[in-house]
Structure 1
Amino acid sequence: MSLRHAILTLLATEPASGYDIVRHFKQSLGYFWNAKHQQVYQELRRLSDEGWLEYAEQAQADKPDKKIYSISPGGRAELKRWLAEPVPPNKLNDALLVKLYAGALAEPDNLCEEMARHRATHIATLDSLLEIERRYLALPPTEQVQQRLPYLTLRRGIIGEQAWLAWADEVEPELAARTLS
Protein backbone atom coordinates (compact mmCIF):
# COMPACT_ATOMS: atom_id res chain seq x y z
CA MET A 1 0.00 0.00 0.00
CA SER A 2 1.19 3.46 -0.66
CA LEU A 3 0.74 6.53 1.45
CA ARG A 4 -1.26 8.13 -1.34
CA HIS A 5 -3.90 5.40 -1.20
CA ALA A 6 -4.09 5.59 2.58
CA ILE A 7 -4.72 9.36 2.29
CA LEU A 8 -7.30 8.86 -0.47
CA THR A 9 -9.03 6.25 1.72
CA LEU A 10 -9.25 8.68 4.63
CA LEU A 11 -10.53 11.50 2.44
CA ALA A 12 -13.11 9.24 0.78
CA THR A 13 -14.98 9.23 4.10
CA GLU A 14 -14.72 12.94 4.96
CA PRO A 15 -12.77 16.09 4.08
CA ALA A 16 -9.85 16.85 6.38
CA SER A 17 -6.89 19.15 6.89
CA GLY A 18 -3.33 17.87 6.75
CA TYR A 19 -3.25 18.09 10.55
CA ASP A 20 -6.41 15.96 10.78
CA ILE A 21 -4.90 13.35 8.45
CA VAL A 22 -1.71 13.14 10.52
CA ARG A 23 -3.88 12.73 13.64
CA HIS A 24 -5.82 9.91 11.95
CA PHE A 25 -2.55 8.14 11.19
CA LYS A 26 -1.51 8.41 14.82
CA GLN A 27 -4.87 7.46 16.32
CA SER A 28 -6.80 5.17 14.03
CA LEU A 29 -4.45 3.87 11.34
CA GLY A 30 -1.21 3.72 13.30
CA TYR A 31 -1.55 0.04 14.08
CA PHE A 32 -1.19 -0.84 10.41
CA TRP A 33 0.17 2.22 8.59
CA ASN A 34 2.57 4.90 9.74
CA ALA A 35 3.30 8.24 8.16
CA LYS A 36 5.29 11.20 9.36
CA HIS A 37 3.94 14.74 9.33
CA GLN A 38 6.26 15.81 6.51
CA GLN A 39 5.41 12.75 4.37
CA VAL A 40 1.68 13.46 4.63
CA TYR A 41 2.04 17.10 3.57
CA GLN A 42 4.33 16.22 0.66
CA GLU A 43 1.89 13.58 -0.54
CA LEU A 44 -1.07 15.97 -0.19
CA ARG A 45 0.76 18.40 -2.46
CA ARG A 46 1.46 15.68 -5.05
CA LEU A 47 -2.11 14.37 -4.94
CA SER A 48 -3.41 17.91 -5.45
CA ASP A 49 -1.00 18.46 -8.35
CA GLU A 50 -2.23 15.21 -9.96
CA GLY A 51 -5.84 16.34 -9.61
CA TRP A 52 -6.81 13.59 -7.18
CA LEU A 53 -7.57 16.05 -4.38
CA GLU A 54 -9.35 19.37 -4.14
CA TYR A 55 -9.04 21.80 -1.28
CA ALA A 56 -10.67 24.87 0.15
CA GLU A 57 -8.81 27.36 2.28
CA GLN A 58 -10.24 28.08 5.69
CA ALA A 59 -9.21 31.27 7.51
CA GLN A 60 -7.89 30.90 11.06
CA ALA A 61 -7.31 33.59 13.66
CA ASP A 62 -3.60 34.10 14.47
CA LYS A 63 -2.56 31.27 12.12
CA PRO A 64 -2.05 30.81 8.40
CA ASP A 65 -5.09 29.68 6.40
CA LYS A 66 -5.82 25.97 6.69
CA LYS A 67 -6.43 23.76 3.65
CA ILE A 68 -9.34 21.36 3.93
CA TYR A 69 -8.80 18.53 1.44
CA SER A 70 -11.44 16.37 -0.21
CA ILE A 71 -11.12 13.59 -2.73
CA SER A 72 -11.86 14.61 -6.34
CA PRO A 73 -13.70 12.42 -8.86
CA GLY A 74 -10.29 11.53 -10.33
CA GLY A 75 -9.02 10.59 -6.87
CA ARG A 76 -12.06 8.43 -6.26
CA ALA A 77 -11.47 6.69 -9.62
CA GLU A 78 -7.81 6.10 -8.68
CA LEU A 79 -8.82 4.71 -5.30
CA LYS A 80 -11.31 2.34 -6.95
CA ARG A 81 -8.64 1.26 -9.46
CA TRP A 82 -6.19 0.56 -6.63
CA LEU A 83 -8.82 -1.31 -4.58
CA ALA A 84 -9.36 -3.67 -7.54
CA GLU A 85 -5.64 -4.58 -7.72
CA PRO A 86 -4.20 -7.54 -5.83
CA VAL A 87 -1.85 -6.58 -2.99
CA PRO A 88 1.32 -8.56 -2.28
CA PRO A 89 1.60 -10.18 1.16
CA ASN A 90 3.27 -8.01 3.75
CA LYS A 91 6.99 -8.64 4.24
CA LEU A 92 8.52 -8.31 7.65
CA ASN A 93 11.77 -6.46 8.32
CA ASP A 94 12.31 -6.54 12.05
CA ALA A 95 15.66 -5.44 13.50
CA LEU A 96 14.81 -6.98 16.88
CA LEU A 97 14.49 -10.41 15.25
CA VAL A 98 17.89 -9.95 13.60
CA LYS A 99 19.38 -9.11 17.02
CA LEU A 100 17.80 -12.20 18.56
CA TYR A 101 18.96 -14.35 15.67
CA ALA A 102 22.51 -13.15 16.36
CA GLY A 103 21.89 -13.37 20.11
CA ALA A 104 24.83 -15.69 20.77
CA LEU A 105 27.10 -12.77 19.84
CA ALA A 106 25.25 -10.18 21.96
CA GLU A 107 25.48 -9.35 25.61
CA PRO A 108 22.50 -11.08 27.29
CA ASP A 109 21.68 -8.04 29.43
CA ASN A 110 21.43 -5.87 26.30
CA LEU A 111 18.90 -8.23 24.72
CA CYS A 112 16.86 -8.35 27.93
CA GLU A 113 16.76 -4.55 28.06
CA GLU A 114 15.83 -4.39 24.38
CA MET A 115 12.98 -6.85 24.91
CA ALA A 116 11.75 -4.87 27.92
CA ARG A 117 11.64 -1.66 25.84
CA HIS A 118 9.76 -3.39 23.05
CA ARG A 119 7.36 -5.03 25.51
CA ALA A 120 6.50 -1.64 26.99
CA THR A 121 5.77 -0.26 23.52
CA HIS A 122 3.57 -3.22 22.58
CA ILE A 123 1.66 -3.03 25.87
CA ALA A 124 1.00 0.68 25.33
CA THR A 125 -0.12 0.04 21.74
CA LEU A 126 -2.42 -2.80 22.84
CA ASP A 127 -3.95 -0.61 25.54
CA SER A 128 -4.61 2.11 22.96
CA LEU A 129 -6.20 -0.33 20.52
CA LEU A 130 -8.37 -1.85 23.24
CA GLU A 131 -9.62 1.65 24.09
CA ILE A 132 -10.58 2.19 20.44
CA GLU A 133 -12.35 -1.18 20.54
CA ARG A 134 -14.27 -0.17 23.67
CA ARG A 135 -15.49 2.96 21.86
CA TYR A 136 -16.55 0.88 18.86
CA LEU A 137 -18.44 -1.61 21.05
CA ALA A 138 -20.27 1.29 22.74
CA LEU A 139 -21.66 2.50 19.39
CA PRO A 140 -25.29 1.83 18.53
CA PRO A 141 -25.69 -1.35 16.44
CA THR A 142 -26.39 0.57 13.21
CA GLU A 143 -23.12 2.49 13.53
CA GLN A 144 -21.27 -0.72 14.39
CA VAL A 145 -22.52 -2.22 11.11
CA GLN A 146 -21.23 0.84 9.19
CA GLN A 147 -17.84 0.61 10.94
CA ARG A 148 -17.49 -3.19 10.76
CA LEU A 149 -14.64 -3.35 8.22
CA PRO A 150 -12.53 -0.69 9.99
CA TYR A 151 -13.26 -2.59 13.21
CA LEU A 152 -11.89 -5.77 11.66
CA THR A 153 -8.65 -3.95 10.82
CA LEU A 154 -8.56 -2.90 14.46
CA ARG A 155 -9.03 -6.53 15.52
CA ARG A 156 -6.02 -7.47 13.37
CA GLY A 157 -3.98 -4.88 15.25
CA ILE A 158 -5.19 -6.17 18.63
CA ILE A 159 -4.51 -9.79 17.75
CA GLY A 160 -1.07 -8.84 16.40
CA GLU A 161 -0.13 -7.06 19.63
CA GLN A 162 -1.44 -9.94 21.74
CA ALA A 163 0.55 -12.41 19.63
CA TRP A 164 3.72 -10.31 19.98
CA LEU A 165 3.32 -10.26 23.77
CA ALA A 166 2.73 -14.04 23.86
CA TRP A 167 5.88 -14.50 21.78
CA ALA A 168 7.80 -12.24 24.18
CA ASP A 169 6.62 -14.49 27.02
CA GLU A 170 8.50 -17.32 25.28
CA VAL A 171 11.63 -15.31 24.52
CA GLU A 172 12.19 -13.55 27.84
CA PRO A 173 12.82 -16.68 29.98
CA GLU A 174 15.42 -17.83 27.43
CA LEU A 175 17.17 -14.48 27.63
CA ALA A 176 16.97 -14.47 31.44
CA ALA A 177 18.57 -17.92 31.55
CA ARG A 178 21.46 -16.62 29.43
CA THR A 179 22.13 -13.74 31.82
CA LEU A 180 22.45 -16.21 34.69
CA SER A 181 25.00 -18.42 32.93
Structure 2
Amino acid sequence: MSLKHAVLVLLEAEPASGYDLLKRFNERMGYFWNASHQQIYKQLKTMHEAGDIDCQEEVQAGRPDRKVYSITPQGHGELLTWLAKPVKPNKINDSLLVKMYAGHLRDSDVILEEVRDHRQIHETMLQTFQAMEAEYQALVPEEQLPFKLPYLTLRRGILGEQSWLAWADEVEQALAGVAEQV
Protein backbone atom coordinates (compact mmCIF):
# COMPACT_ATOMS: atom_id res chain seq x y z
CA MET A 1 0.00 0.00 0.00
CA SER A 2 1.11 3.50 -0.55
CA LEU A 3 0.21 6.70 1.19
CA LYS A 4 -1.65 7.64 -1.97
CA HIS A 5 -4.17 4.87 -1.41
CA ALA A 6 -4.67 5.77 2.23
CA VAL A 7 -5.39 9.38 1.21
CA LEU A 8 -7.82 8.21 -1.49
CA VAL A 9 -9.67 6.04 1.04
CA LEU A 10 -10.09 9.01 3.39
CA LEU A 11 -11.12 11.42 0.63
CA GLU A 12 -13.60 8.86 -0.69
CA ALA A 13 -15.48 9.27 2.59
CA GLU A 14 -15.53 13.08 2.43
CA PRO A 15 -13.52 16.08 1.13
CA ALA A 16 -10.98 17.57 3.51
CA SER A 17 -8.34 20.22 3.90
CA GLY A 18 -4.76 19.07 4.37
CA TYR A 19 -5.04 19.79 8.09
CA ASP A 20 -8.35 17.93 8.42
CA LEU A 21 -6.98 15.05 6.38
CA LEU A 22 -3.92 14.77 8.63
CA LYS A 23 -6.15 14.79 11.71
CA ARG A 24 -8.48 12.18 10.21
CA PHE A 25 -5.50 10.10 9.11
CA ASN A 26 -4.07 10.07 12.63
CA GLU A 27 -7.44 9.29 14.23
CA ARG A 28 -8.51 6.58 11.81
CA MET A 29 -5.41 5.05 10.24
CA GLY A 30 -2.51 6.23 12.33
CA TYR A 31 -2.64 3.06 14.40
CA PHE A 32 -1.67 0.90 11.43
CA TRP A 33 -0.15 3.27 8.86
CA ASN A 34 2.31 6.06 9.61
CA ALA A 35 2.79 9.28 7.69
CA SER A 36 4.20 12.63 8.65
CA HIS A 37 2.62 16.02 8.04
CA GLN A 38 5.16 16.69 5.27
CA GLN A 39 4.53 13.33 3.57
CA ILE A 40 0.78 13.92 3.44
CA TYR A 41 1.09 17.44 2.01
CA LYS A 42 3.64 16.27 -0.56
CA GLN A 43 1.33 13.40 -1.53
CA LEU A 44 -1.63 15.78 -1.90
CA LYS A 45 0.39 17.95 -4.29
CA THR A 46 1.45 14.93 -6.36
CA MET A 47 -2.08 13.52 -6.49
CA HIS A 48 -3.52 16.90 -7.50
CA GLU A 49 -0.97 17.24 -10.30
CA ALA A 50 -1.82 13.68 -11.47
CA GLY A 51 -5.56 14.45 -11.51
CA ASP A 52 -6.52 11.97 -8.78
CA ILE A 53 -7.89 14.74 -6.56
CA ASP A 54 -9.33 18.22 -7.02
CA CYS A 55 -8.58 21.22 -4.87
CA GLN A 56 -10.96 24.07 -4.11
CA GLU A 57 -9.82 27.13 -2.20
CA GLU A 58 -12.08 28.45 0.52
CA VAL A 59 -11.57 32.04 1.61
CA GLN A 60 -11.23 32.48 5.36
CA ALA A 61 -11.48 35.81 7.13
CA GLY A 62 -8.25 36.73 8.88
CA ARG A 63 -6.48 33.53 7.83
CA PRO A 64 -4.88 32.13 4.69
CA ASP A 65 -7.22 30.52 2.18
CA ARG A 66 -8.00 26.91 2.97
CA LYS A 67 -7.50 24.22 0.32
CA VAL A 68 -10.16 21.51 0.39
CA TYR A 69 -9.35 18.32 -1.50
CA SER A 70 -11.82 15.86 -3.00
CA ILE A 71 -11.42 12.68 -4.98
CA THR A 72 -11.93 12.83 -8.76
CA PRO A 73 -13.47 10.10 -10.93
CA GLN A 74 -9.90 9.25 -11.99
CA GLY A 75 -8.86 8.94 -8.34
CA HIS A 76 -11.92 6.82 -7.60
CA GLY A 77 -10.94 4.51 -10.47
CA GLU A 78 -7.37 4.34 -9.13
CA LEU A 79 -8.72 3.40 -5.71
CA LEU A 80 -10.98 0.67 -7.14
CA THR A 81 -8.07 -0.72 -9.19
CA TRP A 82 -5.87 -0.85 -6.10
CA LEU A 83 -8.64 -2.47 -4.03
CA ALA A 84 -9.00 -5.22 -6.65
CA LYS A 85 -5.31 -6.21 -6.41
CA PRO A 86 -4.02 -8.55 -3.72
CA VAL A 87 -1.54 -7.08 -1.25
CA LYS A 88 1.69 -8.69 -0.11
CA PRO A 89 1.92 -9.86 3.50
CA ASN A 90 3.28 -7.22 5.82
CA LYS A 91 6.90 -7.47 6.88
CA ILE A 92 8.04 -5.79 10.03
CA ASN A 93 11.22 -3.98 10.94
CA ASP A 94 11.39 -4.05 14.71
CA SER A 95 14.54 -2.67 16.31
CA LEU A 96 13.61 -4.13 19.68
CA LEU A 97 13.60 -7.63 18.18
CA VAL A 98 17.06 -7.04 16.71
CA LYS A 99 18.27 -5.98 20.15
CA MET A 100 16.70 -9.10 21.65
CA TYR A 101 18.42 -11.25 19.05
CA ALA A 102 21.77 -9.75 20.05
CA GLY A 103 20.84 -9.65 23.72
CA HIS A 104 23.70 -11.90 24.75
CA LEU A 105 25.94 -8.85 24.25
CA ARG A 106 24.08 -6.78 26.85
CA ASP A 107 23.17 -7.12 30.47
CA SER A 108 19.73 -8.71 30.68
CA ASP A 109 18.56 -5.96 33.07
CA VAL A 110 19.06 -3.35 30.34
CA ILE A 111 16.97 -5.34 27.90
CA LEU A 112 14.35 -6.03 30.55
CA GLU A 113 14.06 -2.30 31.27
CA GLU A 114 13.55 -1.54 27.58
CA VAL A 115 10.89 -4.25 27.24
CA ARG A 116 9.11 -2.76 30.25
CA ASP A 117 9.23 0.71 28.66
CA HIS A 118 7.69 -0.73 25.50
CA ARG A 119 5.11 -2.57 27.60
CA GLN A 120 3.77 0.77 28.84
CA ILE A 121 3.34 1.98 25.26
CA HIS A 122 1.52 -1.20 24.25
CA GLU A 123 -0.70 -1.13 27.33
CA THR A 124 -1.69 2.44 26.50
CA MET A 125 -2.44 1.49 22.89
CA LEU A 126 -4.53 -1.46 24.04
CA GLN A 127 -6.52 0.79 26.37
CA THR A 128 -7.07 3.27 23.52
CA PHE A 129 -8.24 0.52 21.17
CA GLN A 130 -10.53 -0.96 23.81
CA ALA A 131 -12.10 2.46 24.41
CA MET A 132 -12.71 2.76 20.66
CA GLU A 133 -14.22 -0.73 20.68
CA ALA A 134 -16.57 0.23 23.53
CA GLU A 135 -17.75 3.25 21.51
CA TYR A 136 -18.46 1.01 18.53
CA GLN A 137 -20.25 -1.59 20.63
CA ALA A 138 -22.42 1.14 22.22
CA LEU A 139 -23.90 1.90 18.78
CA VAL A 140 -27.15 0.28 17.74
CA PRO A 141 -26.68 -2.33 14.98
CA GLU A 142 -27.87 0.04 12.24
CA GLU A 143 -25.25 2.60 13.31
CA GLN A 144 -22.54 -0.07 13.46
CA LEU A 145 -23.09 -1.28 9.90
CA PRO A 146 -21.03 1.38 8.05
CA PHE A 147 -18.17 0.85 10.53
CA LYS A 148 -18.08 -2.95 10.42
CA LEU A 149 -14.86 -3.26 8.38
CA PRO A 150 -13.06 -0.42 10.19
CA TYR A 151 -14.08 -2.19 13.41
CA LEU A 152 -12.41 -5.36 12.17
CA THR A 153 -9.18 -3.40 11.60
CA LEU A 154 -9.55 -2.21 15.19
CA ARG A 155 -9.94 -5.83 16.34
CA ARG A 156 -6.67 -6.65 14.57
CA GLY A 157 -5.03 -3.86 16.55
CA ILE A 158 -6.49 -5.14 19.82
CA LEU A 159 -5.34 -8.70 19.16
CA GLY A 160 -1.91 -7.45 18.11
CA GLU A 161 -1.46 -5.49 21.33
CA GLN A 162 -2.68 -8.40 23.45
CA SER A 163 -0.26 -10.69 21.65
CA TRP A 164 2.63 -8.26 22.16
CA LEU A 165 1.86 -8.04 25.88
CA ALA A 166 1.73 -11.85 26.18
CA TRP A 167 5.13 -12.01 24.46
CA ALA A 168 6.47 -9.38 26.87
CA ASP A 169 5.33 -11.60 29.76
CA GLU A 170 7.41 -14.45 28.31
CA VAL A 171 10.42 -12.17 27.83
CA GLU A 172 10.20 -10.88 31.40
CA GLN A 173 9.95 -14.41 32.79
CA ALA A 174 12.92 -15.59 30.71
CA LEU A 175 15.07 -12.57 31.60
CA ALA A 176 14.16 -12.88 35.29
CA GLY A 177 15.47 -16.45 35.09
CA VAL A 178 18.73 -15.22 33.51
CA ALA A 179 19.18 -12.63 36.27
CA GLU A 180 18.72 -15.34 38.92
CA GLN A 181 21.47 -17.46 37.33
CA VAL A 182 24.01 -14.62 37.47
Q: Which residue of 1 aligns with 2:106?
A: 106
Asked if residue 68 in structure 1 is aligned to residue 84 in structure 2, the reply is no
CA distance in 1, matches of 2:178, 2:23: 42
Partner residue in 2 for 1:174: 174
What does residue 134 of structure 1 align with? 134
Aligned pair count reads: 181
Which ranges of structure 2 fall in alignment gaps of 5 or more residues?
none
CA distance in 2, matches of 1:114, 1:63: 45
Runs of at least 4 residues off by over 4 Å = none
- Give yes or no for contact 2:122–2:161 (8 Å, CA) kept in 1: yes
Distance 2:61 2:121 in 1: 38
Mapped to 2, the partners of 1:68 and 1:100 lie a distance apart of 46
1:1-181 map, 5 Å:
1-180=1-180, 181=182
TM-score by length of 1: 0.95
Aligned to 2:4, the other structure's residue is in SS state helix
Matched position secondary structure for 2:119: helix
Task: Name the stretch that deviates more: 139-148 or 68-77.
Answer: 139-148
Note the C-alpha offset of 1:115. 0.5
Deviation track 1:66-93 (CA, whole Å, cap 9, x = no partner) reads: 1111100000000001111111111121
Taking only the aligned residue pairs, the percentage that are identical comes to 54
Q: Deviations over 1:125-181 (max 9, x none)?
A: 111111111111122211211110111011111111111011111111212233342
